[in-house]
Chains A and B, each alone.
Chain A
Amino acid sequence: MIDQDKTQESAPERRRWLDDRKNVDKIYRALLVVCGGLMLADLFYDKHAKYTAEDWFGFYGFYGFFGCVFLVLAAKQLRRLLMRPEDYHDH
């Protein structure tokens, strides 16, 4: 089932755009610009908010950002409690 060709030797690979660290930085900066733009957009439309919090400036952005930071850092702590070696269930 596993492809045997993957081990074959081939000519030196061409460098991809993403192989250059500088281009990865460009993506990061583009993301920052997009996020900034989306925040500013909050000034120009009516949210039809059901709850007061929704009307706070940039509520969804902040909620998404801090929600994810909490998710990842909490999950990282959970590893101390839950993580076991890969063959744990084989014993």
Chain B
Amino acid sequence: MITSLPPGLLLIGGALVVPFLRGWLRWAWMLALPVLGFVDLIGLEHGIHLSISLFDYHLQPLRVDKLSLAFGYIFYIAAFLGILYAVTINETSEQIAALIYMGSAVGALFAGDLITLFLYWEVTAVASAFIIWSGRSEAAYRAGMRYLVIQVTSGVLLLSGALIQVAETGSIAFGASGLDSVAGILIFFAFGIKCAFPFLHNWLQDAYPEASPTGTVFLSAFTTKLAIYGLARGYAGEEILIWIGALMTAFPIFYAVIENDLRRVLAYSLNNQLGFMVVGVGIGTELSLNGTVAHAFTHILYKSLLFMSMGAVLYRVGTVKGSELGGLYKSMPWTTAFCIVGAASISAFPLFSGFVSKSLIMSSAAGEGWVIIWLVLLFASAGVFHHSGIKIPYFAFFAHDSGKRCKEAPLPMLLAMGATAILCIGVGVWSSPLYALLPYEVNYTPYTTAHVITQLQLLMFSALAFAVLMRTGLYPPELKSVNLDIDWIYRRGFPAIGRMLYRAARPLGGTMTIISTKTALGGLSRLVRLTGPESTLARTWQTAGMVALIVTIMALYLVVSFV
């Protein structure tokens, strides 16, 4: 056992070896890493295993409890399946970025203090941006930049919250923060950005669909679920989360119905599924928190499966636009079948994974008397089936035959999709192993007559609504288009304001230009004097001078640390 090593470092360290390995050896290495990590987690005992003193603070990079372990297991499973899916594609930069990204996401789960959490938080941000850039298109580059700015903002908020907490309480521990302090509110927003709260959500739909077929599979599993984990640890029982979560379940599904890019449809439905988990955190009972963790677990599996199936379509056909697809079941029967398993799971059909996890959240919402919330969640559940359960498989694989013919997905992709599909059905049929992983004891039977029949009624009548709307021609066709979302503000709004200000300032232009040119030139020449070939900094210094400099820096450091 490597129990004293913080989980996650295995993947991060393993990533550094990847460039030196070739062919099957590289894949064997990459696949072995999450397996080793998983085995390592099984051997971990609850408690705080590692404490590092840094100045006055005690970093705890290895805090283990049921909450972190449950997320840890599913993160490693997702890492393994994602890597298996990617075996076809030889993109070294994406492989390294993905391993570092997944490793730091696992590491963050076991961070017992805010500084460690912040470090991992930032590494996930930067590494995931590299995954998006590995999409290697102009659109991917631009979306990755926007994504990075937003993710780093989340990190800055987290750090600010941590610093204020230290100043106020002297502790850097990461525990139940609550919303009573400024620190708690800042950290709440840091998590909120990564969790894609309403109006902070658009980075998800903007960036994820721009990554490569394999990149999106990696991305879909970790960032947002890390945020759910953070909320569950820090903000369980905060009532505002119930309303935020309910809004998240309902609002993205309208976009999902009219969106043409099927991976973007999945990004909207990812947002909707996060809403269910956020509601579970907000209700804050043992049943609802169990529901959140269980739903995160099953969601990672079926969302990966859906992104894998659309990734396979993108890989073979070159597009995932609903307006250009249709009839692909003839060419890709296996991919079609796996996609349908993912669709049935996200729709929470009995015997599929979503059913045994979402029931916990629905029951706790109903049991705690949240009538309006319960009705919204029920509407969103019907809506999920409509846009993810039916729309995705229907427009990609059935609908009108687009005439496109291609090969079935490559073997590694099929293996990954097959394994994920088996897990989706396995968890749905046999829920007790999943329930045993949850943070609190589970006294819950998902398969009662009432549950099964009411859920089937909800779903089959949603299907009927789809069929009726299709046959009457009322269903909006898939159109080549984009839909305005919050990103309009920074992609169109801000530049427009900038242009307006520029035009307004143009009358002053002459003077301004002269002043700014002079300042810029002055600054530049000073910089050259300091750093150019003949400059002070470029000269060889004598040892005595160097020592003097170092002593000065150390003295300054001493003074600063005592102040």
Contacts and interface: CB of A to CB of B under 8 A. Distances in A.
Contact of A72 (B315, B475, B484): B475
A79 B317 CA distance: 27
Given A1-B315, A5-B406, A63 B476 contact: no
Nearest to B477: A76
B469 A16 contact: no
A73 B317 CA distance: 31
Contacts, number: 169
Q: Is the interface of A mostly helix, strand, loop or mixed?
A: helix
A35 B482 contact: no
A3 interface: yes
Contact of B466 (A2, A39, A68, A76): A68
Contact of B467 (A3, A28, A67): A28
Nearest to B480: A86
B407 interface: yes
Contacts of A82: 255, 258, 483-485
B463 A31 contact: yes
Contacts of A39: 457
Interface string A1-17: 11101100010010010
A50 B451 CA distance: 12
A46 to B, nearest CB: 7
A84 B483 contact: yes
A5 B401 CA distance: 18
| Central interface residue in A3, A60, A64, A73, by most chain B CB within 10 Å | A64
Interface string A43-63: 001111011001000111111
Nearest to A5: B407
B5 interface: no
B465 A45 contact: no
B457 A61 contact: yes
B459 A64 contact: yes
Given A3-B317, A3-B407, A61-B457, A68 B476 contact: no
Nearest to A16: B330
A82 B287 CA distance: 39
Given A3-B407, A51-B371, A86-B482, A75 B476 contact: yes
B93 to A, nearest CB: 15
B26 interface: no
B398 A89 contact: no
Bin chain A's interface residue count: 35 or more
Contacts of A88: 482
B20 to A, nearest CB: 25
A79 B468 CA distance: 21
B408 to A, nearest CB: 10
A71 B406 contact: no
Contacts of B383: 67-68, 71
A90 to B, nearest CB: 9
B475 A13 contact: no
B405 A71 contact: no
Interface string B143-166: 000000000000000000000000
B53 interface: no
B464 to A, nearest CB: 5
A86 B280 CA distance: 37
Contacts of A71: 253-254, 257, 379, 382-383, 386
A19 B329 CA distance: 12
B366 A51 contact: yes
Nearest to B381: A64
Contacts of A28: 467, 471
Contacts of A64: 382, 457-462, 465
A89 B317 contact: no
Contacts of A31: 460, 463-464, 467
B317 A6 contact: yes
B461 A61 contact: yes
Nearest to A73: B474
A89 B482 contact: yes
A28 B449 CA distance: 26
Interface in B204-239: none
Contact of A6 (B254, B316, B480): B316
B393 to A, nearest CB: 13
A2 B382 CA distance: 35
B503 interface: no
Given A6-B407, A67-B379, 18 more contacts: A6-B405, A13-B330, A35-B464, A38-B457, A41-B453, A61-B460, A68-B466, A68-B469, A69-B465, A71-B383, A72-B386, A72-B465, A75-B258, A76-B257, A79-B481, A82-B258, A82-B483, A88-B482
25 contacts: A1-B315, A3-B317, A6-B404, A6-B405, A13-B330, A28-B471, A31-B460, A31-B463, A31-B464, A35-B461, A38-B453, A59-B454, A60-B457, A62-B461, A63-B458, A64-B457, A65-B462, A67-B379, A71-B253, A75-B254, A76-B476, A79-B258, A85-B482, A86-B480, A89-B492
User: Which 7 residue pairs of A and B lie closest in terms of their CB atoms, listed nearest first?
Assistant: A68-B465, A2-B318, A75-B257, A64-B461, A60-B457, A64-B458, A65-B461
